[in-house]
Amino acid sequence: MGLRDLLRPRHDGALRALAFGILDRLRDDAPELTLDVGDRLDGRTCLVTGANRGLGLAIATELARRGGHVILACRSGIPEVLDVVRRQSGSSGTVEAMHLDLGDLDSVERFVDELAEDGACVDVVVLNAGVVPKEARRTKDGFDESFQVNFLADALLVTRMLERGVIANTVFAAPGSEPLDRDDLPDERRVPRIVVVSSESHRSARPIPFGRLGVFHRWSMRQAVAEYGLSKRLIETWSAELARRLRPHGEVEVAVHTACPGAVNTDIAREAPAFVKPALDATMRAFFKPTEAGARPVLHLAASRALEGRTGLYVHVTRTKPRCPKADDPEIGRRLWDAAARLLEGAGHPLLSRSTER
Ligand SMILES: NC(=O)c1ccc[n+]([C@@H]2O[C@H](COP(=O)([O-])OP(=O)(O)OC[C@H]3O[C@@H](n4cnc5c(N)ncnc54)[C@H](OP(=O)(O)O)[C@@H]3O)[C@@H](O)[C@H]2O)c1
């Protein structure tokens, strides 16, 4: 069997993704998005999921360097990551780490419970954790791992944080809870931000399969990139809907943005087959960006003062541009919102807020 046969059709999606990543990088000549010295986070609390390596580590480190109190939400790598972020960020901000496994919805509930019991008020949430499994894997909640980690668990995490007032807002207050008096908050805490680390692959994904959304099905390496793209389409569409819901009467209560960092040299392809791994690692090292550069669009959305009052932005590496029109469609957004709420309810995690009715 020649190399061509080995690579096709089993890995054509992955190869195309790799080629697009490199091309994207070579084509993009716009200046990098940077933060000003004045874009500080002193007094603000930031939370980053998947902060123990890759992009998440670079994002968390820079947020701490800019004075934020940073909560590292990690499935593994605590306490090593605490040490690394403290050392690399200097003494500017403060850092703590908490366990969070997005592949386990009970872990998400425990995580938010702990934040709420501590009275945490989070100003910047970066939903960064993501996975590209090499085959379908069922989580203990019964969902496909990429579907749950890259989409459904994020939906639960954010909604619960909003419901419990961990992210300050009035829209998602659970029935019976005290409405938040936003006038009591200091100015800089009034508009929290949620930034989702997404991917351009949301654009080429197949349409959302509403009829069998969340139904576990078998797939193998050949479909890995397509499944990943679909999970990013889901989180893009859901985030656009969240941005609409958090802007009642035109006033932004919580800003919601998404970003594709471009091709970044991380462990994202760690499950690639052993026979392509050495060549893949070498290609990523040579052509993909270091994590500090990959983190810039996300940091821009999370911390740039120039974006105050804006919501619903999608940044691809260096430019703000429209997301895929279907991901921006309010009717599809509303259907996905309802479908996600039903799936969570079926899994024993009903959403409590009135915001489920739009
Ligand atoms: N690298 C790229 O070129 C690229 C391009 C576009 C978008 N992205 C997106 O960027 C984000 C970060 O990925 P990366 O490139 O930095 O990859 P990475 O180095 O593999 O990091 C992924 C992070 O997600 C965490 N994670 C995975 N499953 C989890 C779970 N069940 N619960 C909690 N955390 C979990 C990992 O934790 P463990 O260490 O415990 O596994 C790790 O911290 C992802 O959303 C990815 O889709 C990356």
Query: Rounded to an integer, what distance in angstroms lies between the CA atom of residue 165 and that of residue 161?
Result: 6
B/e letters for 238-274, b = 16+ CB within 10 Å, e = fewer, are bbbbbbbbbbeeeebbbbbbbbbbbbbbbebbeebee
| pLDDT tens digits along 123-141 | 999 999 999 999 999 999 9
What is the rounded average pLDDT of the residues 157-185?
A: 82
Which of helix, strand or coil describes residue 167? coil
CA distances to 141, 164, 251, 347, 353 from 169, rounded to whole Å, are: 29, 10, 12, 26, 12
User: Quick one: pLDDT at residue 23?
Assistant: 75
Atom 47, ligand 1: residue with shortest CA distance: 130
User: Quick one: pLDDT at residue 174?
Assistant: 78
Ligand 1 atom closest to Cα of 21?
3
Cβ atoms within 10 Å, residue 296 = 23
Residue 207 has pLDDT above 80, yes or no: yes
User: Quick one: pLDDT at residue 33?
Assistant: 87
Query: Rounded to an integer, what distance in angstroms lies between the CA atom of residue 126 and that of residue 132?
Result: 19
Q: Give me the chain's average pLDDT, please.
A: 91
> Ligand 1 center to residue 54 CA distance, Å?
7
pLDDT greater at residue 249 or residue 197:
197
Residue 7 has pLDDT above 60, yes or no: no
pLDDT greater at residue 279 or residue 24:
279
Is the minimum distance from the CB of 299 to ligand 1 under 6 angstroms? Answer: no
| pLDDT tens digits along 236-290 | 999 999 999 999 888 899 999 999 999 999 999 999 999 989 999 999 999 999 9
The percent of residues above 90 in pLDDT, for the chain, comes to 79
Residue 11 has pLDDT above 60, yes or no: no
Q: Domain ranges for the chain, please list them.
A: 3-349
Is the minimum distance from the CB of 300 to ligand 1 under 6 angstroms? Answer: no
| Residue 235 CB contacts under 8 Å (≥ 6 apart), including other chains | 127, 150, 151, 154, 196, 198, 202, 258
Cβ atoms within 10 Å, residue 218 = 9
User: Quick one: pLDDT at residue 178?
Assistant: 67
Residue pair 296/350 in contact by the 8 Å Cβ criterion: no
CA distances to 44, 150, 155, 213 from 143, rounded to whole Å, are: 35, 11, 14, 10
| pLDDT tens digits along 209-236 | 999 999 999 999 999 999 999 999 999 9
User: Quick one: pLDDT at residue 27?
Assistant: 73
Per DSSP (E only), the strands in 105-234 are 124-127, 193-197
User: Quick one: pLDDT at residue 187?
Assistant: 62
Ligand 1 atom closest to Cα of 264?
3
Is the minimum distance from the CB of 149 to ligand 1 under 6 angstroms? Answer: yes
DSSP for 127-150, please give it.
Answer: E------SS--B-TTSSBHHHIII
Give the CATH fold of the 3-349 domain: Rossmann fold (3.40.50)
Taking phi over 0 as left and psi of -120 to 50 as alpha, with beta for the rest, 317 belongs to left
User: Quick one: pLDDT at residue 8?
Assistant: 46
Query: What phi and psi values does residue 265 have, to the nearest 5 degrees?
Result: -80, 95
B/e letters for 30-42, b = 16+ CB within 10 Å, e = fewer, are eeebebeeebbbe
User: Quick one: pLDDT at residue 287?
Assistant: 92
Report strand pairing: 94-99 vs 124-127. Answer: unpaired
